[in-house]
Structure 1
């Protein structure tokens, strides 16, 4: 009898333990929700969209000249202020290197490529590679020829040449002129020359002005510009009345050649870019004028457009320029002629250069 009671009690205990174990499991409705694989992927995609930063590639011809350092620094600052990143490559005037660097930027998956071409024709290869990868391209300051670029932003370089020639012909309406151009591979150099001759041609036709020397400057190098000016002086027995140089760097080479003959400050010289050395030449009377192109305005507008395009926005413009391949949507900014009389209200007022840097150590302040 006692054994039966033991069995009965054991049976009861087993039932109690079993019921207690059942209570430790939650009902299905109480289990935590686990998202499906599709839902997890969707959530990850949304997270990436939120945290991903747009990346702009900047492929530059060179950083040798002062102005291009300003372009790089100001563009980078403007893009970063808009919440994007910039990866910069500079090719030092080497076409093959610029193509290789651009390929690197493309392989890194930049959202947009900003291109300052060394060679207007060779750079078309870069544009083709970028667009095969679905990356839009902005041609910055220099037009890429025969390529399907998405947008071109620059100053009106033909107008720059006109401003140079207008200033010099006002000073020297008659006489022997020398034109020292930029690099023949740079489309801007051709536009500058067109603008200069737009103004000079009526003087030439009247016989008032004779262009006695006209030469391109390889790679825009001041040393090459100096050699060109030396050749012009030799060919004309130093009988030169005015010089128009394609930029302030080449104007510097011209002034060196004139100085060797005791002619610096006696022959008016025009440049452009408003480089510090050019402004100092102006203050010293060795250069007549320069053309100021507000790099701050250019970089800020280029940065805004680049970020908008990288985000997928289509930019429409009122102006187009045909580059041999298509009518390219174009944004033009306005250049300003600068001489000794308006340096402070233009260059200094914009913060492009400081007064103490321009006038430092110069007696003519």
Structure 2
């Protein structure tokens, strides 16, 4: 009896230990599998250039993250904004590489300086996608943006036509408020604008490249031109909505009445509201969702070892051809707000038609 009891006890103990061992093994296997899944899921870095441009926080970042999550629930997105500082963007990229980024999607504050980021990334076998702005490096994997020369041409064409429709003299004076001299896209906008303006008889009274796209810089410069030229200013070519806001503030403060037609770009919420209110004439709508979505798709494909075929090529400042995807920009005046930014879901009617703009919305048929 004693021997039998002892045998049963040993067998039971062995069974318990075996059961516990099995459970432990299962638990370890699950943790290992979860860890393997986490480690194998791509990490993608998104680097944006500044905080003064409204679109980056409101559209580019959330759309990009949304598409990555749709493509890969376990993927990790590292995000940083350079706050208009090339050195800071370099540090942010280095940090992402240290954290194990598999791909960098880089919208450079300075297209020339950002070549150093590409060089460092390539040394670590991390591909780089130039997002919205070109990077002056032959090693960029893809460039995704809009036809930026066309953007400038659309802006200038709208300005020339509006001034003609207002019955202004063919040689009427205009100001040109261009973008940042460190942004490669700004040079393309400027080129496109001059393609049109230089063929017209309009007189360019003065021209300014706005450091960092900062609205305050644009406002200060335009204020000086109002003091100098006054009512000679019959139109303003402005490269984007944020600096247009600064220009318009300076025109108002300087007593220019009526306000001359002012162009813009990016379909910023504040720009759309100014257009409906009659302070700004037009903007150029660049559909940020398809741009951000395409960048996310390319980033995920590269992380997965694929190399999708590009639609076209675009040259860097040094003439190197980069596989590219270019989207079409769309001019927007008050009559197109409903059929563009509202229809595409960029903004809701409630977001646009706040109390301050309710009457303007009603006047333009947006309710």
- The question of a shared fold, defined as TM-score above 0.5 by the shorter chain, is answered with yes
Matched, 1:107 2:98: yes
The runs of 5 or more residues in structure 2 that have no matched partner are 1-31, 165-169, 362-367
CA displacement at 1:266 relative to structure 2: 2.5
Quickly say closer, same or farther: Cα 1:238–1:108, change in 2 above 3 A: same
Check 1:50–1:284 CA distance in 2 against 1; reply closer, same or farther (3 A cut). Answer: closer
Tell me the equivalent position of 1:13: none
Whether the 8 Å CA contact 1:183–1:217 is kept in 2: the answer is yes
Mapped partners of 1:264, 1:223: distance in 2: 21
Aligned residue in 1 for 2:308: 315
Q: Is the 8 A contact 2:43 2:103 kept in 1?
A: yes
Structure 1-normalised TM-score?
0.84
Deviation at 1:358, TM superposition (A): 1.4
Check if 1:357 corresponds to 2:351: yes
* Gaps in structure 1 of 5+ consecutive residues: 1-43
Kindly report the root-mean-square deviation, in angstroms, between the aligned alpha carbons of the 2 structures. 1.8
- 1:196 and 2:193 are equivalent in the alignment: yes
Partners of 1:73 and 1:106 in 2: CA distance:
22
Whether the aligned pair in 2 keeps the contact of 1:115 and 1:139 (CA below 8 Å) is yes
Contact 2:129/2:141, CA 8 A, preserved across alignment: yes
Moved more, 260-269 or 76-85: 260-269
In structure 1, how many angstroms separate the alpha carbons of the residues matched to 2:35 and 2:218?
Answer: 55
Q: Find 1:131's aligned residue among 114, 119, 122.
A: 122
Equivalent pair of 2:107/2:132 in contact (CA under 8 Å): yes
Contact 1:293 1:335 in 2 (8 A): yes
Aligned position for 2:182:
185
CA positional deviation for 1:356: 1.7
**Equivalence for 2:64:** 75
Indicate the structure (1 or 2) with the bigger Cα radius of gyration: 1
Could you tell me whether the CA contact under 8 Å between 2:54 and 2:242 is conserved in 1? no
Question: SS where residue 331 of structure 2 aligns?
Answer: strand
Q: TM-score, normalised by structure 2?
A: 0.83
> Which residue of 1 is the match for residue 36 of structure 2?
48
Deviations 1:321-342 (Å, cap 9, x if unpaired)? 1111621001000111001101
Matched, 1:121 2:118: no
Query: Does the CA-based 8 Å contact 2:138-2:321 persist in structure 1?
Result: no
- Report the equivalent of 2:254: 261
Measured against aligned partners, the alpha-carbon deviations of 1:15-69 in whole angstroms (never above 9, x if no partner) come to xxxxxxxxxxxxxxxxxxxxxxxxxxxxx89993797211111122123322011
> SS of 1:269's equivalent?
coil
